[in-house]
Structure 1
């Protein structure tokens, strides 16, 4: 899939797609999920589970190559989530096929520092985790660096150790506090709640890469639903509503960081909530 917005070329590399249970959103019920028939196939499977995609967005702007989120990675010890554990996928070959050979990448943005957004920051070479993108600057939320750098969380502390600490030690990290220009017309905007330093990527007001402000299109209809892993649920809800309002008002192309199918579409207001209209 490719899109061009204000001269910025955007493509996508999918690492894998997997089902998530209904209770991934604390307030969800099977009946509420089944009541959204337009989500069938691409976004909800035949068993009523959410289809979630793990993928990176690749931006080409002004001759620069930028990778947004780096999925789970290969060979990482993730026993608590079998689908993430010791993966052996073709991600790097797929990235190279899209014109993003690792040594050609100029910047890596992690919308936040959870394990499924940082894995390919590093790869295993001679028994050591080394930066996958040796020429790149890694732009990471400052508040996330602080929070996860001190955490002993059994899911995310190991990911910090093998996927964040090596790029810090290599001197490749630029901490991001608040909004920040990334390239001409491309901006990182602070969208806290899921994590304290969460970032979303905007191309003007015409396109947004959501990160985990939205995990799934059903949250457009139910912005009050909180996801497993939301660090501050109330703030996450407020941030989500603000992003949805902005995207609906501007008609922005919405690129969901975990949306399956084409991952792309638009948010339209539907009463007091919203509806996601997917693009083919």
Structure 2
């Protein structure tokens, strides 16, 4: 199993989808081609394909179990979604729930769901279809979402009051409407949505910290025990290239400069405290302990976490 212990917390990786995506030139438009070539020996094949220059990404959930609690960090894409703007996410029929079950997690066992941000590949399994209606997948769970993202992606948001500036923006806005309707509104209607802002302490082990930029409400989840630390960074980091050069922007960031500021702050804290960094979309071992870099490198991978490379 894709399972590791961080202190007394058991962490399991449950993969919904994996494969090659757009090219790294599209996703990291400011990153020189030389950066990818110079680091091919350890970036390929886990993080990119040098032949096609395609970015390799995982869509996955991190399952945390401790003190009798079960917490999910992000819930992937979901089945049966209307996503005409993103065909790769549309009308999936994966065995995600079976994979959760294989990891020992039944939907009714989940106590808490953390959405690091509201994007189509992070909130999808918040709900599933029951007799034609979108219903919370995890009936006993609270779902925590940053208020800033809730307000930004809500159908009443000001982002919908102006005309889209580009065709890509039009597609994104239409996708936002659909995902809010099928993955956020139903959990609110069920009384299971919990909004937070300005930081949030979940319990003695987990706390949320705002890390805006990728979206206005993007957040990271700090795991802190007497023995160990980890941080689940969502889409703060898409590729290890952003460890080496923390200012490299991702084309999916709503506010690239704010994302750079958040990325440096969180990675500095992780490197300084020895926290293992768990991004949302890394392949390979999926997570790493980082340290301060030397020369023109901001941070370096000191050690990959002890999960099977995938």
TM-score bracket for this pair, using the shorter chain length: over 0.9
**SS of the counterpart of 2:252?**
coil
Alpha-carbon contact 1:30-1:48 (below 8 Å) kept: no
Equivalent residues in 2 for 1:109-124, closer than 5 Å? 109-124=114-129
Q: Separation in 2 of the partners of 1:8 and 1:169?
A: 32
Q: Separation in 1 of the partners of 2:290 and 2:57?
A: 18
Alpha-carbon contact 1:182-1:188 (below 8 Å) kept: yes
**SS of the counterpart of 1:210?**
strand
Deviations 1:162-220 (A, max 9, x none): 11111011110110112212232211111111111111111127111111111111111
Deviations 1:195-252 (A, max 9, x none): 1111111112711111111111111112112112211111100110111111111121
**SS of the counterpart of 1:75?**
coil
Q: Which residue of 1 aligns with 2:163?
A: none
Say whether residues 1:275 and 2:310 are aligned partners.
no
**SS of the counterpart of 1:244?**
helix
Say whether residues 1:50 and 2:55 are aligned partners.
yes
Q: Separation in 2 of the partners of 1:262 and 1:245?
A: 21
Alpha-carbon contact 1:144-1:196 (below 8 Å) kept: yes
1:34 deviates by 1.8
Alpha-carbon contact 1:34-1:48 (below 8 Å) kept: no
Q: Which residue of 2 aligns with 1:33?
A: 36
- Number of aligned residue pairs: give it: 280
Equivalent residues in 2 for 1:18-167, closer than 5 Å? 18-20=19-21, 21-22=23-24, 23-37=26-40, 38-46=42-50, 47-149=52-154, 150=157, 151-152=159-160, 153-167=173-187
The Cα RMSD (Å) is 1.5
Higher mean alpha-carbon deviation, 20-29 vs 236-245, is at: 20-29
Q: Which residue of 2 aligns with 1:208?
A: 231
1:146 deviates by 0.5
Q: Which residue of 2 aligns with 1:12?
A: 13
Say whether residues 1:195 and 2:239 are aligned partners.
no
Q: Separation in 2 of the partners of 1:196 and 1:18?
A: 27
1:32 deviates by 2.5
Q: Provide TM-score, normalisation by structure 1.
A: 0.95
Deviations 1:48-92 (A, max 9, x none): 222111000001121111111000000101122221110010000
Say whether residues 1:169 and 2:189 are aligned partners.
yes
Alpha-carbon contact 1:61-1:183 (below 8 Å) kept: no
Higher mean alpha-carbon deviation, 19-28 vs 53-62, is at: 19-28
Q: Separation in 1 of the partners of 2:203 and 2:15?
A: 24
Q: Which residue of 1 aligns with 2:3?
A: 2
Q: Which stretches in structure 2 are left out of the alignment for 5+ residues?
A: 161-172
**SS of the counterpart of 2:280?**
coil
